[in-house]
A and B are shown apart, each in its own frame.
Chain A
Amino acid sequence: QVQLVESGGGVVQPGRSLRLSCAASAFSFSTYAMHWVRQAPGKGLEWVALISYDGVNKYYADSVKGRFTISRDNSKNTLYLQMDSLRADDTAVYYCARETDGYNDYWGQGTLVSVSS
């Protein structure tokens, strides 16, 4: 069955960087667009970024544009989120999610990023 497993979260100081990974299995990863969505503690969902199936097209939320970079390695069935210049308000659980027909039909379990000095 479809599985998405995020990793790479942790505690990081403001201004530092972190790279998240999302390992995909049991589906043809290279044919699906993928997203990152985050959720601050006790808050709602916030869409972060999208990458097309081939990695050519990328979209970002204004709140992360210029600081975060989404990428993928289809040979490794893995999605990435490079997060630079981290701020306290980036603290959240980060989910990767597959897109089908424009919506997110499968989600990972999430990885927690905590930005604190």
Chain B
Amino acid sequence: EIVLTQSPATLSLSPGERATLSCRASQSLISFLAWYQQKPGQAPRLLIYDASKRATGIPARFSGSGSGTDFTLTISSLEPEDFAVYYCQQRSDWPRTFGQGTKVEIK
């Protein structure tokens, strides 16, 4: 099973700041990685797929990068609605696995 390790567990930032979230895989994913955002009481929302492609309707302040085993989600300037938990997920192999999540909280 591919293990995804996200860091940091919690990121404390202010609105307008830049957020950088990391996801490291236990083996190469090529580029088969997605990022999801989840707010309390809501279902996850697809942000980025294939490491760097923005899903439909996702603002340009969200960007993804990386390949192989190291991936990054960047939020260029945090808006109030961006404070949430973010998960990475791989589709390179079965079973599909998620990272444990990074919580982006208001400082």
Interface of A is mostly: strand
A101 / chain B contacts, CB cutoff of 8 Å: 49-50
Q: Across the interface, do A103 and B49 meet the contact criterion of CB distance under 8 Å?
A: yes
**Which of A59, A102, A108 is most buried by chain B, counting CB atoms within 10 A of its CB?**
A102
Give which listed residue, A46, A59, A105, contacts B94 with CB less than 8 A. Answer: A59
Q: Across the interface, do B100 and A47 meet the contact criterion of CB distance under 8 Å?
A: no
- A116 on interface, CB distance cutoff 8 Å: no
Q: Which residue of B lies closest to A99 (CB)?
A: B91
Give which listed residue, A44, A50, A59, A95, contacts B43 with CB less than 8 A. Answer: A95
Query: How far apart sit A104 and B95, CA to CA, in the bound complex (Å)?
Result: 14
- A107 on interface, CB distance cutoff 8 Å: yes
- B21 on interface, CB distance cutoff 8 Å: no
Over the window 30-58 of chain B, the binary record of Cβ atoms lying under 8 Å from chain A Cβ atoms (1 yes, 0 no) is 00101010100011111001100001100
Q: Across the interface, do A47 and B97 meet the contact criterion of CB distance under 8 Å?
A: yes
Q: Known contacts A44-B87, A45-B87; is A109 also within 8 Å of B96 by CB? A: no
Q: Known contacts A44-B101, A103-B89, A105-B55; is A61 also within 8 Å of B95 by CB? A: yes
Give which listed residue, B32, B38, B45, B95, contacts A47 with CB less than 8 A. Answer: B95
Q: Which residue of A lies closest to B6 (CB)?
A: A44
Over the window 2-39 of chain B, the binary record of Cβ atoms lying under 8 Å from chain A Cβ atoms (1 yes, 0 no) is 00000000000000000000000000000010101010
Cβ < 8 Å to B, chain A residues 57-101: 59-62, 95, 101
Query: How far apart sit A60 and B56, CA to CA, in the bound complex (Å)?
Result: 28
A-B contacts, 12 of them at CB < 8 A, read: A35-B96, A45-B87, A45-B98, A46-B98, A47-B96, A61-B95, A103-B91, A107-B43, A107-B45, A108-B43, A109-B42, A109-B43
Q: Which 7 A-B pairs have the closest CB atoms?
A: A107-B43, A47-B96, A102-B91, A45-B98, A103-B49, A103-B34, A44-B101
